[in-house]
Amino acid sequence: MNTDDLNFAYKVRHALNDHLDELPAATTERLSAARKAAMARKKPHAPVQAAQTQLAGNIGALFSFSSLGRMSVAIPLMALVAGLAGIYQYEEQQRLEEIAELDAAVLSDELPLTAYLDQGFNAYLAQRAQ
């Protein structure tokens, strides 16, 4: 509960306590019976550390609704990141292969000598790199 909820609960409790003496006896008895029933159904108070330790060792906690809700957001995000990383790696590999092919052509002298003297050779290299 946040502070606004607690403040509201305290105000409601205070208002009920102020007018408690004006309530009819039947209403007071019904409220008393409802409180006793609620207290009977209340779970015993457990320390926070014990509850966390119990959940940490419980494999079933992985498949609870709250963890499934978190996983339903986390799994697609991880898949998206992995997909983007894969696309980046693939594009980088393609770029490196094109540069290696061009370097191999230059080193094996498959390009004519006039290509080195041509002013458009830099444009040709840029076009091949793209």
Confidence of residue 82 (pLDDT cuts 50, 70, 90): very high
In the predicted structure, residue 11 carries a pLDDT above the cut 60: yes
Residue carrying the six token digits 């052509």: 105
Q: What is the pLDDT of residues 45-78, one digit of tens each?
A: 755 554 555 555 566 655 566 666 777 888 889 9
Tell me the DSSP string of 63-97: GSHHHHHHHHHHHHHHHHHHHHHHHHHHHHHHHHH
- pTM for the full predicted model: 0.35
SS3 29: helix
Altogether, the residues listed in the chain come to a count of: 130
